[in-house]
Chains A and B, each alone.
Chain A
Amino acid sequence: MQSETATDTVLDVRDLRTYFKLDEHVVKAVDGVSFSIRRGETLGIVGESGSGKSVACLSALGLVPRPPAFHPSGQVLYRGRNLLGLPERQLQNLRGNRLAMIFQDPMTSLNPYLRVSRQLTEVLEVHKSATATEARRAAIAMLERVGIPDAARRIDNYPHQFSGGMRQRVMIAMALLCEPEVLFADEPTTALDVTIQAQILELIAELKHTFGTAVVLITHDLGVVAGTTDRVAVMYAGRIVEEGPTSEVFASPTHPYTLGLLESLPRIDAGPEGELAAIPGLPPDLAHLPSGCPFHPRCSRVLDRCRESYPPQVVLSPTHSAACFDIEVAS
């Protein structure tokens, strides 16, 4: 375990709230999320669709459209600077340079009309004021690094001449060209075949190791989390319900939602007659959240208090916490 010093923490998100003001009501997509991440660490953020995982990361980079979005509270501190209040121009200087992001669908996240070379060198030209020759050389080196064979020739291809896995490699190369300190990976493997998934995750882990990048890995695949992350945060309805070291959360999940998620994983040793567990009910409508703990209508351990107020974070160990009244009672 690394020693926790102030300089080690690259990104510190505190009580981030991202609300979307629609015609009639306010959608609380992210509702008080806090996490921090250190150099070289991988934080997994898991949750169902609509739990606010992607919006939290897009908010950190200032990529949610405002309006309709607004931040009633919160700070995203990158090396002590609050990104939420930063002018757009300064954010542009940080994006792709110190903080980068890769997206879910590599088939649509490259511009179909531009050669890959153009898209790669643009990043370097913007952030590093590199000349065309330097940028091209660096781009080829990075393509080789992410495992594109014959990179010097392939760099002049168009995106449609690459397969899905290759395109995701190109995206990763693009995001890492300026050696950012934080990489947000928004379900980077969801759109890929299982074999390619493993390769891409391995690649991210390897590059993280080389460059010391902090990685925020958003996924809904618990298998991915177990295999690649140091810490995990479980999100539900815009809040983090449980957070801790991955091994600890998987070994002793405490929040009923985390438990439900882990129990609903199909097990290969359960045999064909084993029944697939599922969490009853549906994720809540973010515009009309239930009172109190948003998970209470689906929770098997619901208490009266759960309907009235949101539970506090219960500290289970210095690194592991969960937000649940039932746990508070037990501990």
Chain B
Amino acid sequence: MTIHAAPHSVERPTGPDLEPGTSLWQDAWKRLRKNHVAVASGWILLFLAAACLVGPPIVAGTWGYDYETQDLAYGPRPPTWEHPFGTDFYGRDLLTRVLYGGRVSLTVGFLAAAVAATIGTVYGAVSSYAGGNVDSVMMRIVDILYALPYMFLVIILVTILGKNLVLVFLTLGAVGWLLTARVVRGQVMSLKEQDFILAARSLGTRPGSIVFRHLIPNTLGPVIVTFTLTVPAMILQEAFLSFLGLGVQAPRPSLGALINDGASQMLVFWWTLAFPGGVMALMLMALNFLGDGVRDALDPRMKN
């Protein structure tokens, strides 16, 4: 403390939380950790992601086959020690295929949701902060896109751009940002009337900085929630595209494509549907529970 502070030092710092960095985010993190279902879901997701990442090479190293190694003489057989998930019609190891497919699904889900969240957040925040006619025009565009059937748009884009994995998640994301844009716009509408935005403007803060530094961080709670709920939606949509033959192309598997194959032969070879379906269900359930947990943790009314 310096001599300048002396006349004013009557007022003592208050509150027990003097540690720097007890931010609202850390508060939310603390609350999330108390939610056992969400924590368990998080671990399941981590386990699935790790398995999908390192599983295929381990299987390849141990038993010497990858997702496209066929063994037509062996054919479709139920689970054994050698093939824990069984084999498919061409004698390919289903465990490898499910892990590889999970890798595709998780990547597509997270990347598409990230693309959607980024576009939606920036679009919604800019639209709302600009206000007036700019806002009206930008939001009418969203309304028009909303009015078009979502899958129809995706199918058109995939047909035009080609059946490429990168393009699939870009396409899904580019079409899926509408909800995020609306959520963020609503948030910014109320935030921009807050005193701290007026205060920031009164200090000469540039509009770009107001949008990106002051407004968007304040909307991240709802954005994260929307994100966690978008990921499973994107995975399902990729599955649907693969189901239609527009997603990942054979022989590369995705969970959706595997379920599609499995569904057509489920009465004969039950394991070709049960294992991919089970993994997909587990993944989606974990994502949804985690999303719910994040939403609760970020809700200020749930504080402690």
Contacts and interface: CB of A to CB of B under 8 A. Distances in A.
A188 interface: no
Contacts of B198: 63, 103, 109
A95 B201 CA distance: 8
B203 A175 contact: yes
Contact of B24 (A118, A127, A158): A158
A283 B132 CA distance: 32
Nearest to B131: A65
Interface in B236-269: none
A199 B213 CA distance: 32
Given A108-B195, A109-B195, A154-B13, A144 B204 contact: no
A108 B194 contact: yes
A203 interface: yes
Contact of A111 (B5, B18, B200): B200
A96 interface: yes
Given A61-B202, A122-B205, A123-B204, A111 B11 contact: no
Given A113-B218, A148-B5, A101 B22 contact: no
Interface string A87-106: 00000111111001111110
A290 interface: no
Interface in B202-217: 202-206, 209, 213-214, 217
Given A146-B8, A203-B8, A112 B203 contact: no
Contacts of B213: 114, 118, 122
Contacts, number: 129
Contacts of A146: 8
Interface stretch (A159-167, A220-228, A267-275, A295-303): A159-167
Contacts of A174: 199, 203
Nearest to B217: A113
Given A94-B204, A161-B15, A113 B23 contact: yes
Contacts of A126: 203-206, 209
Given A113-B24, A127-B204, A158-B24, A199 B10 contact: yes
A163 B14 contact: yes
B1 A150 contact: yes
B203 A199 contact: no
Interface in A133-162: 144-151, 153-154, 156-158, 160-162
Given A63-B202, A96-B202, A97-B204, A147 B18 contact: no
B9 interface: yes
Contact of B13 (A115, A118, A150): A150
A147 B11 CA distance: 9
Interface residues of B, number: 37
Nearest to A126: B204
B61 interface: no
B82 interface: no
A114 B214 contact: yes
A63 B197 CA distance: 11
B196 A109 contact: yes
Nearest to B8: A147
A171 interface: yes
Nearest to B7: A147
Contacts of B11: 147, 163, 165-166, 196, 199
A95 B199 contact: no
Contacts of B301: none
A84 interface: no
B194 to A, nearest CB: 6
B149 interface: no
A147 to B, nearest CB: 3
B64 interface: no
Contacts of B1: 144, 149-150
B13 A156 contact: no
A95 B218 contact: no
B22 A93 contact: no
A231 B199 CA distance: 26
Given A122-B203, A147-B9, 14 more contacts: A61-B202, A92-B206, A97-B204, A103-B195, A105-B195, A111-B214, A122-B209, A123-B203, A150-B1, A150-B13, A156-B21, A161-B15, A199-B8, A199-B11
4 closest pairs, A vs B, by CB? A147-B8, A96-B203, A96-B204, A95-B204
26 contacts: A63-B202, A94-B204, A95-B204, A96-B203, A100-B203, A101-B202, A102-B199, A105-B195, A108-B196, A109-B195, A111-B200, A118-B213, A122-B209, A122-B213, A123-B204, A126-B204, A126-B209, A146-B8, A149-B9, A156-B21, A157-B20, A158-B21, A161-B22, A163-B14, A163-B15, A169-B8
